[in-house]
Amino acid sequence: MSIETASAKPYKAGYVALLGKPNVGKSTLLNQIVGHKVSIVSNKPQTTRRRVIGITTTTEYQIAFIDTPGIHEPHTQLGKAMVEQARMSLGDADEVVYVADGSHHPGEQDREVAKLIKQDLKIPMILCMNKMDLLKAEDVQRNVDAFCSLLGLGQEDIMLTTATRGHNVDKLVEMIVAKLPEQEPLYPEDEFTDQSSRFLAAELVREKILHATREEVPHSVAVLVDEWDEEPGLTRIGATILVEKSSQRAILIGKQGQFLKKVGTEARLEIEEMLGTKVYLQLHVKVSEDWRMSPRILQELEYSD
């Protein structure tokens, strides 16, 4: 495939892995650059559960970002699968962007992620210190120096961003493009993700639940699309929401089904926007104890191979 270029410069393309600990803004950054919601976002750690590719294409470059689950100490089969997906992305990447919460000094989790990235890594790396709107001016140099030391990078390989506002994101992209290999595009120019519409729809339902719930519910929720029927002007979707306890099921249904109805309405509107058609969305809540420890269920949910 060939994309017409606006200049005589060689075309650049490659895979760029976004790595970091949970809840540092990797998915927000990805969505900001790609211009589409490729990964769902919430303020809950470990929102991203599998690697997701988001693609941005211009006449001069194509970047296939690999958004990965936050690297953490796993305690379930789901957690192990998530960390393994992050590890696997290193083998496919032409470049790594380490996304850190720049408003904090690096901690133990940052050191563990850095240790993983630096193992036998022979590809270029950029440090994206995100959430800089939360950093006090007097702490900037201290935090920059600490992350530079941790990753063995010079300050020319660092960009300070606020992904939620798009601040310095364009400058980060310029840095990424400079380190990409010269080659033809990897994907057709109209593609922006490798995810199926079914998976994205399930994730949008889960996102609405994450925004609306607290405490133990978010980590215990998964969404599985059971039915998907397309007809002219309408897509009918049936999905099951999995939880691990009867008490969680009661929370998600709510009084007279109001909570489930609210979540379903919010998700349906966004799925309609994504598909460009009317959607009939039917949700059920099912208790499946310890589903996060079940290899079979994790495969059904596309969280593991």
Q: In the listed set 147, 178, 209, which residue is the last one of a domain according to the structure?
A: 178
Beta strands per DSSP E along the chain:
12-19, 52-57, 61-67, 95-101, 125-130, 158-160, 222-231, 234-243, 278-287
The pLDDT score that the predictor gives to residue 7 is 54
What is the mean predicted confidence (pLDDT) over 163-168? Answer: 94
Total structural domains within the chain = 2
Q: What is the pLDDT of residue 44?
A: 77
CATH number at residue 228: 3.30.300.20
Mean pLDDT of 270-293: 94
45 and 133 share a domain? yes
> CB-based contacts of 233: which residues, under 8 Å, 6+ apart?
277, 278
Task: Mark whether 239 and 174 lie in a shared domain.
Answer: no
The verdict on 149 and 276 lying in the same domain is: no
94 and 160, same domain (yes or no)? yes
pLDDT over 70 at 3, yes or no: no
- The percentage of the chain sitting over the pLDDT mark of 90, rounded to a whole number, equals 58
Query: What pLDDT, on the 0 to 100 scale, is given for residue 120?
Result: 55
- Contact indicator for 239, 202 with CB cutoff of 8 Å: yes
Expressed as residue numbers, the domain containing 132 is: 12-178
Instruction: Indicate if 163 and 210 belong to the same structural domain.
Output: no
- Is residue 284 one of the residues assigned to a domain? yes
Residues 207 and 288 in one domain: yes
The answer on 248 and 161 residing in a single domain is no
| pLDDT score at 192 | 93
Q: Quick one: 146 and 221 in the same domain?
A: no
**162 in a structural domain:** yes
120 and 235 in a single domain? The answer is: no
Query: CATH no. for residue 141?
Result: 3.40.50.300
What value does the mean pLDDT take over residues 142-171?
93
Q: What is the mean pLDDT of the chain?
A: 88
12 strand-pairing partners: 61, 182
Residue where one domain finishes, among candidates 146, 178, 210: 178
Domain presence at residue 128: yes
Q: What is the mean pLDDT of residues 119-131?
A: 85
Q: Say if residue 37 is in the same domain as residue 93.
A: yes
The pLDDT, as a whole number, for residue 80 is: 78
Q: Report the alpha-carbon distance of residue 305 to residue 284 in Å, rounded.
A: 25
- Taking CA 219 as the corner, what is the angle to CA 162 and CA 28, rounded to the nearest 5 degrees? 20
Whether the predicted pLDDT of 212 surpasses 80: yes
What does pTM read for this prediction?
A: 0.86
- Quick check: 23 and 163 in contact, CB under 8 A? no
Shared domain for 242 and 164, answered yes or no, is no
Asked, for residue 191, whether it belongs to a domain, the answer is no
Q: Are 29 and 169 in contact (CB under 8 A)?
A: yes
Q: Report the pLDDT value the prediction gives residue 1, as an integer from 0 to 100.
A: 47
pLDDT given at position 50: 77
Summarize the confidence of residues 118-135 as an average pLDDT: 85
Same domain, 232 and 174: no
Reported as a single tens digit per residue, the pLDDT across 215-263 is 667 778 999 999 999 999 999 999 999 999 999 999 999 999 999 999 9
